[in-house]
Amino acid sequence: MSGSSQDELNQSANSQADIPSHIAIIMDGNNRWAKQRFLPGIAGHKAGAGAVRRVVEDAARAGVKVLTLFAFSSENWKRPQAEVDALMMLFMRSLKKEVKRMNKQDIRLRIMGEVSGFSDKLQAQIALSEKETQDNQGMQLVIAANYGGRGDISHAARKVCQQVLDGELNLDQINEETIASQLYLADLPDPDLIIRTSGEERISNFLLWQAAYSEFVFLPVLWPDFNKDDFQHAIDLYQQRQRRYGGR
């Protein structure tokens, strides 16, 4: 084997070892994508669904263990009713359509957020989709829907308070681990890398607790245009950084 071939193999092995275990993405830019093309906003959301399919496949192929996508925030209810209704319909359609694909790829689907805020029909579809993929052993795909980071922490705090009231927990036992254990999907690792598209550089109430030591990458591309090269670029930037967790 030539020296250059060996170098390529070593580089590939090192890159694989540095793949983030958990990647979270703030999928931003659907409306701007549609506006640039003089299309209605829902056209951007439909195009964004295609980007979701691509990034799920790319992440699973890269060896990512958990992929979390911020699909609908607890603040998104403030959008025009027609847009909210279209988003709910698209969410329902995507759940029905993608389960078969996820089972083929051995991907487990989990929904994170206040699911009770959705219609009974959508709640039933969410429960069915989660059940149909619950035995899959590959990548876990988390969809944050009706989710907010502050709400996540508040929800955890209420559960801890209830434990105290029930005599299951003493005040001096409350610490970071206690609260973290009550967050949504507390069994999953915190995100190593958080990507936001569209050029905006803010967290928008996403994974506030879990993002304490995440690396952030902000990309100018609008979400519907996000592709394999953009995904790889974000990972490349992540791999160039040193994570110190407050140390040296």
Please identify which of the residues 18, 76, 103, 225 carries the catalytic annotation.
Answer: 76
Question: Tens digits of per-residue pLDDT, 55-77?
Answer: 999 999 999 999 999 999 999 99
Beta strands in 181-243 (DSSP E): 193-196, 215-218
Share of the chain above pLDDT 90, in %: 85
Q: Look at 17 and 61; give whichever has higher pLDDT.
A: 61
Q: Which of 111, 181, 180 is nearest to 146 (CA)?
A: 111
Whether 14 has a pLDDT exceeding 70, the answer reads no
Mean pLDDT of the chain: 91
Are the C-beta atoms of 114 and 122 separated by less than 8 Å? no
Domain map (residue ranges) of the chain: 21-148+190-239
Q: Is the pTM of this model over 0.85?
A: yes
Please identify which of the residues 7, 18, 28, 170 carries the catalytic annotation.
Answer: 28
Overall average pLDDT of the 193-202 stretch:
97
Q: Can you state the angle between helices 120-133 and 81-104, rounded to 10 degrees?
A: 20
- pLDDT on residue 243: 75
Q: Look at 185 and 224; give whichever has higher pLDDT.
A: 224
Class of domain 21-148+190-239: alpha beta
**120 catalytic residue (yes or no):** no
Q: Which residue has the tokens 């990512």?
A: 64
Whether 214 has a pLDDT exceeding 50, the answer reads yes
Q: Give the model's confidence band at 5: pLDDT under 50 very low, under 70 low, under 90 confident, else very high.
A: very low
Question: Tens digits of per-residue pLDDT, 89-109?
Answer: 999 999 999 999 999 999 999
Rounded to whole angstroms, how far apart are CA atoms 195 and 201?
10
Alpha helices in the chain (DSSP H): 3-17, 30-36, 41-62, 81-104, 120-133, 149-165, 176-180, 228-239
- pLDDT on residue 242: 82
- pLDDT on residue 70: 96
**152 catalytic residue (yes or no):** no
Overall average pLDDT of the 162-189 stretch:
95
- pLDDT on residue 244: 72
